[in-house]
Amino acid sequence: MLPRFVALCIASIVYVHPIQANEGDKGIFSMNPKEVINLRNSDSGIDPRVPESIADNVFLVTPSEVKDIRTKNLRIEEAKYQTIIDPIVESVIFDRHLEPNESTVTAYGIENSPTAIQFIDATGEPWPIYDSVGLDGQFFSLQSVENEYKNSVIVSGNQPGGVAFATIYLLGEPDPITVKFVVNNQRFNPKVTVRIMRTGPNANVNNKILLSSGQNNASVERYTSDQALNAALHGITPLDAKRAVIRTDGALGLNVDGWIVGDDMVIRTTLTLFSPQYKRLSIGTGGYKAYRMPYTPIIYGSSPEGKVVKLLVGDKQ
């Protein structure tokens, strides 16, 4: 029996010996588990038949370490197939009159990137948001901006693509505004401005008005109550006003809008009007001016090029 036992021992030594005798393997039993895994996954030429004592050490790796290793490998694989997107980036502005059948405000976003939507009135003043409804928070999120103006919301998408709708209620307005939010990888609106073509609760109507006590030496002073002139300056129909039909040389007037307010007219135009003599003048942005003058069928003015223009005011509507 003894010779057979000795033979088995010699056979075991012969099997293990090639790995132990390798000069590069002398420190293998002193490696930590991660080093063993890295060694086995390398191209170093080490015999993959690791002895059981090394395999036992592998089982000393904690579950959290195994999870970290797998997570890193998954991120490496995802990065290999990651699509680099380069969307068109643009901020946009929409004009809305809060009238029936107006088109929906559409904002475009990309995954995990915020889009700011703000609301202003025709004068450019912030229009506060009373309430906002929509976007479930799982695939899309909507968050109100709590600053002094309270006129903005932040929307974002939590998935690569999709469409959602939100309803916005503005302070003092019964009609809501519907916002369509589209998430894709083609277009991105970092800022969307919705301009309501009315004077909002924060509008400053104390405009500087030129009083025509004599047009050649008109003085500039504060005037606090000409709501019709203020509305006309921003292209808004004044309260209790009727639109006038204004033509130039038989064609519809270019850059000219007019309304009948009582016995007066309020005219919004880029022209400089000089006849009849106006009562008040308010100057806005973009070259526009608003005139209050007595109602008359003919108005004379001059274009920016200096050409005299004759305006024909049609019947009151």
- The pLDDT tens digits for 286-304 are 778 899 999 988 888 877 6
Please write down the HEC assignment for all residues of the chain: CHHHHHHHHHHHHHHHHHHHHCHHHCCHHHCCHHHHHHHHHCCCCCCCCCCHHHHHHHCCCCHHHHHHHHHHHHHHHHHHCCCCCCCEECCEEEEECCCCCCCCEEEEECECCCEEEEEEECCCCECCEEEEEECCCCCEEEEECCCCCCCEEEEEECCCCEEEEEEEEECCCCCCEEEEEEECCCEECCEEEEEECCCCCCCCCCCEEEECCCHHHCEEEECCCCHHHHHHHCCCCCCCCEEEEEEECCEECCCEEEEEECCEEEEEECCEEEECCCCEEEECCCCCEEEEEECCCEEEEECCCCCEEEEEEEEEC
Which domain does 261 fall in, by range? 208-316
Is the per-residue pLDDT at 206 higher than 50? no
- 83 Cβ contact partners less than 8 Å away, ≥ 6 residues apart: 185
Q: Is residue 189 part of a domain?
A: yes
Is the per-residue pLDDT at 70 higher than 60? yes
Is the per-residue pLDDT at 22 higher than 80? no
Q: Is residue 307 part of a domain?
A: yes
**Domain ends where: 196, 223, 254?**
196
Residues 71 and 95 in one domain: no
Q: Which residue has the higher pLDDT, 189 or 103?
A: 189
Q: Is residue 21 part of a domain?
A: yes
Count the domains in the chain: 3
Residues 32 and 117 in one domain: no
Q: Is residue 276 part of a domain?
A: yes
Q: Is residue 222 part of a domain?
A: yes
Residues 98 and 76 in one domain: no
How confident is residue 85, by pLDDT bands cut at 50, 70 and 90? confident
**Domain ends where: 80, 102, 120?**
80
Q: Is residue 8 part of a domain?
A: yes
Res 314: pLDDT? 77
**Domain ends where: 52, 80, 108?**
80
Residues 191 and 93 in one domain: yes
Residues 191 and 232 in one domain: no
Select from 156, 164, 152, 312 the least CA-distant residue to 247: 312
Q: Is residue 299 part of a domain?
A: yes
Q: Is residue 201 part of a domain?
A: no
CATH, residue 165: 2.60.40
Residues 213 and 307 in one domain: yes
Residues 190 and 274 in one domain: no
Residues 214 and 306 in one domain: yes
Res 205: pLDDT? 46
Residues 167 and 250 in one domain: no
pTM of the predicted model over 0.75: no
Residues 56 and 108 in one domain: no
Centroid of chain to Cα 289: 32
Is the per-residue pLDDT at 221 higher than 50? no
Residues 103 and 76 in one domain: no
Residues 120 and 71 in one domain: no
Distance CA 174, CA 98 (A): 10
